[in-house]
Structure 1
Amino acid sequence: MKQIYENYTAEDQKVWKILFDRQFPELPKAATKEFLLGLDKVNFTADAIPNFDDTNKILRQLTGWEIYAVPGIVEDGLFFELMSNKKFPATTWVRKMSQLDYLEEPDMFHDVFAHIPLLTNQAFVDFLQAISQFGHEWIEDEWAIHLLSRIYWFTIEFGLIREAEGLRIYGAGILSSSGETKYSLSNEPNHFAYDVDHILDTGYRKDRMQENYFIIDSYEQLYESIPEIKEKIEKRLKERPVVS
């Protein structure tokens, strides 16, 4: 499908502006510097919903990635296939004014505002592409996808990074939520150093704020952990009990 920009209503543009203006003031002291740099590079502002064609010209030049318009949540096979080929699936619809604070399904503000700026960082997208290739390879194995989803969840969606200025957010699930932005950096949840085994042993829930967050030291650390992720998931697949 394609983003039909002229179909956005005045309410759609207003919702984007409200969400952007509400979240942006929190980011200089909360978001990873790479997200802030990326936000600048892709020219996202409160004044207009991003045009995918314009954004893709920038992304292709910087890292070779692009936004791929989808109607909503896509099934795992297509999700991993797209990202294996440097195409980030993003919905084109914007939540209604009555849905500003809670959505059951991610809308464009989450998919685009929160995810796309970091697609300008090479180490980050190399990690994203690599785990997507694993997902594509293991798509017929439900347990493998379950384990891999924990890696994706605690990094791409809910990851934290330690920078010179302190603890910062890079996970899109946090960056699109004003409440979780404050909560994730507080003393309330558990904070752990990035550890593949620990993540693979940690479950999560989608219907509430997270209890556990994992902290990386750099995006290079993420990418360099790819062989370990593959090795440890494959080890667990070999060791699982045989069901007769």
Structure 2
Amino acid sequence: MTAETHIHDAPPAGAAADWTIPQNWDAFTAEEHGVWDTLFDRQARLLPGRASSAYLRGLEALKLSESGIPNFDDLSERLMKLTGWQVVAVPGLVPDDVFFDHMANRRFVSGNFIRRADQLDYLQEPDVFHDVFGHVPMLADPVFADYLAAYGRGGLRALALGALPQLSRLYWYTVEFGLVQEAEGLRIFGAGIVSSSAESVFALDDASPNRIGFDLARVMRTEYRIDDFQQNYFVIPSFEELLRVTVETDFAPLYEQIRPLPSIPVGEIVEGDDVIHRGTQAYAQRKAQTAIA
């Protein structure tokens, strides 16, 4: 099925009012389970020494190495014991208010489909591999689990304040594409990176992207790309610090402060940045030249 199959204007037939659906785990085919196993094996070999210790602990604690697409009932039982979260199936992308309400109440929504065997390297819409392999191991970490619940509450408030574009950048540059400084060096924890074999290497090893110390206002002003590697990665000092900044900041005046300011383009370094690595931007330049040609 194409990504458009999983985009709806209202809950489709069989979905509850909150957009959840039964996972119907028995309906997945052997081929679909095989796609999960192929993707899992590839990433499991790649991530040691690259992924954060919290992510790797979660991967083990939730027993995601078991063959096949995880059964959400079993997965939620393990996760609930660790941090009070559960995983619920949805038919595809859900409205923002639904997404934030689930998150605020410690329910992580996951697409109930998996990419085809010929789509291993890129899929525009998140599937069950991105959602579960990418996101759920971090929810086994108590600190990050509290951060994501706080983000959900903040998302509902941002909708009321008309500040969703600013807050969505925080999600993008932490939950999806965040790096963390650990004693052994930089590590990846964002789901968009850990679920991608190519970006797992690019984010840490390539000279092209900037790697910049995390600053809340800076992040919420920074544009991002949804269809290519990032050219800015933001590095948090710890998950404890990310949670502290999130819960101690009054976002309403911060939104008012940054709303009139121009957005910061992808790949740009600005005055005041804590530059951990100034990228060459060679990747972006190659892409631009290819597009012109």
TM range (shorter): over 0.9
CA distance in 2 between partners of 1:39 and 1:219 (Å):
17
Q: Residue type of the partner of 1:154?
A: Y
The aligned residue for residue 63 of structure 1 is 83
CA distance in 2 between partners of 1:236 and 1:2 (Å):
38
SS in 2 for 1:137: helix
Determine if contact 2:217/2:254 at 8 Å carries over to the other structure: no
Q: 1:238 to 1:185 in 2, by over 3 A?
A: closer
The aligned residue for residue 29 of structure 2 is 9
| Residue segments in structure 2 that go unaligned for 5+ positions in a row | 1-20, 261-293
Q: 1:178 to 1:132 in 2, by over 3 A?
A: same
The structure with the greater share of residues assigned to helix is 1
Q: Residue type of the partner of 2:55?
A: F
| CA drift at 1:218 | 1.1
Matched, 1:166 2:164: no
The aligned residue for residue 41 of structure 1 is 61
SS in 1 for 2:23: coil
CA distance in 2 between partners of 1:213 and 1:238 (Å):
23
| CA drift at 1:196 | 0.8
Q: What TM-score do the two structures reach when normalised by structure 1?
A: 0.94
Q: 1:189 to 1:228 in 2, by over 3 A?
A: farther
Show CA shifts across 1:173-218 (max 9, x none): 0011000000000222100011112102211010111000011121
Identical residues among aligned pairs (%): 44
| CA drift at 1:46 | 5.5
| CA drift at 1:4 | 0.6
Q: 1:138 to 1:8 in 2, by over 3 A?
A: same
Show CA shifts across 1:75-126 (max 9, x none): 1010000000000011121111121112111110000011001101111011
The aligned residue for residue 170 of structure 2 is 151
Determine if contact 2:150/2:247 at 8 Å carries over to the other structure: no
| CA drift at 1:239 | 7.1
Q: Residue type of the partner of 1:165?
A: E
The aligned residue for residue 73 of structure 1 is 93
CA distance in 1 between partners of 2:117 and 2:209 (Å):
30
The aligned residue for residue 91 of structure 1 is 111
The aligned residue for residue 215 of structure 1 is 235
* Structure with the larger RCO, 1 or 2 (CA within 8 Å, 6+ apart): 1
CA distance in 2 between partners of 1:197 and 1:58 (Å):
36
Determine if contact 2:130/2:191 at 8 Å carries over to the other structure: yes
Determine if contact 2:221/2:258 at 8 Å carries over to the other structure: no
Determine if contact 1:21/1:46 at 8 Å carries over to the other structure: no
CA distance in 2 between partners of 1:37 and 1:86 (Å):
20
CA distance in 2 between partners of 1:19 and 1:190 (Å):
28
Q: Residue type of the partner of 1:199?
A: V
Deviating 4+ runs (over 4 angstroms): 238-241
Q: What TM-score do the two structures reach when normalised by structure 2?
A: 0.78
The aligned residue for residue 271 of structure 2 is none
Q: 1:15 to 1:85 in 2, by over 3 A?
A: same
Count of matched residue pairs? 239
Q: Residue type of the partner of 1:203?
A: E
The aligned residue for residue 131 of structure 1 is 151
